[in-house]
């Protein structure tokens, strides 16, 4: 296959190779847009089924091309479904099996393209060795905050390498972790973290993949900045003893399409900054008890709310809602509360003048969107890095409040929801006042386009220097 690249301002050529999950693909797309606008050639590797959506997310640029990969047949992996958004957790593990089978294909493509760098993800721990044999350098792009890497996936987490940690061990930071507000996590969070150390289908666990990738790469790239995470960035540097370059928090582009008329009309009937918007992302599903307590908690606030609930693709949504919602709930909140299922225009909703509170799963892009739109943050993390995002946002940065939960099983009740929201409603009292003041400062920082652009310009210069090419 002949692959042609367009000429650009520099000779720097980078291959982007994210894992097949849109929580990973989106940060790679955002970085691609920023790099290509600075003249860098981008070849973006992805599964064929994801091409259309990725193309709609990428900025039109002659220096950028999408290269569809051939996904091998794997028993149990539905053909044509090639991102985790449409797969069960067990099926998603099979994507890693398929990825490992693609090594000869990737080697052939890299031999043809001859890029200076491959920017890769956590699952392709075999890539640094392959690329090195071809004379190509590798960059491990961590799409998570530096705290996640520092707390979970550093060599100090398993200093002896003889066994994986227990749940009690995972509750606490690894040795020599920096002294910050993060001193431990709850038992139910540590139990969730144990996933990192589980092997599926005889393949390396996530921890082993990440450690191998971080040790084998030439450069570590992190989606963060020193202003937010300096102690954790320095700790990661000390653990891996190699360059850690920073992309910044990557401020999402505002939504360009107008908000749907029905939602715009509904929101416009309420006072400025009075509506609670509540959403947990497209791949997070609450159980019936959580939905019930969440709904009752929103009801208790007496504030208008817009609740987004998602369910697995194989579920009957009407039946699931009827089963989960409290009896008589929809009648009691009629006029001040709505429930939507499926995708909604989140950026446009958060930007609406009536929306003042955002109860979310602590996905970091969502956190940034909330700050930019002056929406007060209430965190209810559900899995993985979300727990540490919330620790950073509510602990170190004091930019929001987390819903109180039971230590062992993570249970929260309606009063916990009401109390967390009211902390932000009464912004003239502490800690709500401090949080609101901090949000204003961080909004100014995030809206400083020059500072954000300089991070990318510096990144391009450093990559060019490592590659031994100039900007002329």
**pLDDT of 300 strictly over 90:** yes
470 confidence band (pLDDT: 50, 70, 90): low
pLDDT of residue 430: 84
pTM for this entry: 0.92
| Residue 322: CB atoms within 10 Å | 11
Paired residues of 16 in beta bridges: 44, 119
Superfamily of domain 13-251+448-466: Glycogen Phosphorylase B; (3.40.50.2000)
> What's the pLDDT tens digit per position in 258-267?
999 999 999 9
- DSSP, collapsed to helix, strand or coil, labels residue 154 as coil
> What's the pLDDT tens digit per position in 153-209?
999 998 776 789 999 999 999 999 999 999 999 999 999 999 999 999 889 999 999
> What's the pLDDT tens digit per position in 122-142?
999 999 999 999 999 999 999
Q: Which residue has the tokens 């992190």?
A: 222
**pLDDT of 29 strictly over 80:** yes
Mean pLDDT of 43-70: 92
67 confidence band (pLDDT: 50, 70, 90): very high
Note whether 312 and 88 are within 8 A (CB).
yes
Six token digits for residue 277:
């918007």
pLDDT of residue 1: 42
Are 13-251+448-466 and 261-446 in the same CATH fold?
yes
Mean pLDDT score of the chain: 91
Q: Where are the domains of the chain?
A: 13-251+448-466, 261-446
Mean pLDDT of 244-254: 85
| SS3 annotation, the chain | CCCCCCCCCCCCEEEEECCCCHHHHHHHHHHHHHHHCCCCEEEEEECHHHHHHHHHHCCCCCCEEEEECCCCCCCCCCCCCCCHHHCCHHHHHHHHHHHHHCHHHHHHHHHHHCCCEEEECCCCCCHHHHHHHCCCEEEEEECCCHHHHHHHCCHHHCCCCCCCCCHHHHCCCCCCCCCCCCCCCCHHHHHHHHHHHCCCCCCCCHHHHHHHHHHHCCEEEECCCHHHHHHHHHHHHHHHCCCEEECCCCCCCCCCCCCCHHHHHHHHCCCCCCEEEEECCCCCCCCHHHHHHHHHHHHHCCCCEEEEECCCCCCCHHHHHHHHCCCCHHHHCCCCEEEEECCCCHHHHHHCCCEEEEEECCCHHHHHHHHHCCCEEEECCCCCHHHHHHHHHHHHCCCEEECCCCCCCCCCCHHHHHHHHHHHHCCCCCCHHHHHHHHHHHHHHHCCHHHHHHHHHHHHHHHHHHHCCCCC
pLDDT of residue 2: 40
- DSSP, collapsed to helix, strand or coil, labels residue 197 as helix
Tell me the CATH class for 261-446.
Answer: alpha beta
> What's the pLDDT tens digit per position in 404-455?
999 999 999 999 999 999 999 886 778 888 999 999 999 999 999 888 889 9
**pLDDT of 290 strictly over 70:** yes
Q: In whole angstroms, give the CA distance from residue 432 to residue 299.
A: 21
**pLDDT of 36 strictly over 60:** yes
pLDDT of residue 453: 87
Q: Would you give the distance in Å from CA 85 to the centre of its chain?
A: 14
Q: Which residue has the tokens 């749940």?
A: 167
Higher pLDDT, 174 or 23: 174
Strands 275-279 and 355-360: parallel
* Catalytic residue list: 24, 121
Q: Which residue has the tokens 């707390």?
A: 151
By the 10 Å C-beta count (0-12 exposed, 13-18 middle, 19+ buried), 194 is classed as middle
Higher pLDDT, 124 or 311: 124
Note whether 236 and 222 are within 8 A (CB).
yes
pLDDT of residue 85: 75
> What's the pLDDT tens digit per position in 203-243?
999 999 999 999 999 999 999 999 999 999 999 999 999 99
**pLDDT of 367 strictly over 60:** yes
Type and span of the H or E element at 179 = none
């Amino acid at each position: 296959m002949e692959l042609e690249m367009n000429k650009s301002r520099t000779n720097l050529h980078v291959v982007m190779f994210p894992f097949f999950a849109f929580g990973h693909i989106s940060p790679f797309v955002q970085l691609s847009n920023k790099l290509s606008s600075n003249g860098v050639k981008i070849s973006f590797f992805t599964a064929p089924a994801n091409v259309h959506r990725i193309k709609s997310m990428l900025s039109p640029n002659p220096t950028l091309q999408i290269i569809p990969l051939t996904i091998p047949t794997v028993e149990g992996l539905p053909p044509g479904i090639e991102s985790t958004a449409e797969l069960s957790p067990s099926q998603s593990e099979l994507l890693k099996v398929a990825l490992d089978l693609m090594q000869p294909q990737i080697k052939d493509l890299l031999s043809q393209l001859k890029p200076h760098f491959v920017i890769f993800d956590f699952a392709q721990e075999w890539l640094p060795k392959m690329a090195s044999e071809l004379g190509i350098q590798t960059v491990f792009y961590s799409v998570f905050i530096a705290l996640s890497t520092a707390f979970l996936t550093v060599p100090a987490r398993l200093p002896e390498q003889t066994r994986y940690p227990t749940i009690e061990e995972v509750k606490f930071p690894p040795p020599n972790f920096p002294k910050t507000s993060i001193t431990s996590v709850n038992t139910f969070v540590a139990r969730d973290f144990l996933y990192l150390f589980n092997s599926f289908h005889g393949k390396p666990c996530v921890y082993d993949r990440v450690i191998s990738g971080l040790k084998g790469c030439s450069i570590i790239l992190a989606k963060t900045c020193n202003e937010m995470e300096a102690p954790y960035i320095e700790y990661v540097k000390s653990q891996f003893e190699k360059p850690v370059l920073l992309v910044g928090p990557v401020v999402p582009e505002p939504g360009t399409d107008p908000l749907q008329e029905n939602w715009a009309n509904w929101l416009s009937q309420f006072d400025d900054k009075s509506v609670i918007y509540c959403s947990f992302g497209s791949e997070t599903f609450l159980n019936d008890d959580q939905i019930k307590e969440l709904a009752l908690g929103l009801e208790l606030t007496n504030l208008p709310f817009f609740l987004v609930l998602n369910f697995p693709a194989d579920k009957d949504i009407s039946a699931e809602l009827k089963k989960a919602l409290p009896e008589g709930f929809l009648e009691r909140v009629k006029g001040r509360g709505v429930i939507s299922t499926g995708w909604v225009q989140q950026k446009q909703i958060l930007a609406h003048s009536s929306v003042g509170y955002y109860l979310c799963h602590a996905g970091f892009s969502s956190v940034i969107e909330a700050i930019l739109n002056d929406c007060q943050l209430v965190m209810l993390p559900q899995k993985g890095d979300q727990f540490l995002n919330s620790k950073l946002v509510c602990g170190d940065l004091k930019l929001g409040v987390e819903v109180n939960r039971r230590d062992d099983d993570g249970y929260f009740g309606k009063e916990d929801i009401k109390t967390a929201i009211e902390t932000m409603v009464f912004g003239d009292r502490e800690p709500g006042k401090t949080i609101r003041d901090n949000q204003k400062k961080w909004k100014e920082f995030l809206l400083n386009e020059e500072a954000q652009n300089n991070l990318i310009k510096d990144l391009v210069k450093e990559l060019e220097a490592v590659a031994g090419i100039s900007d002329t």
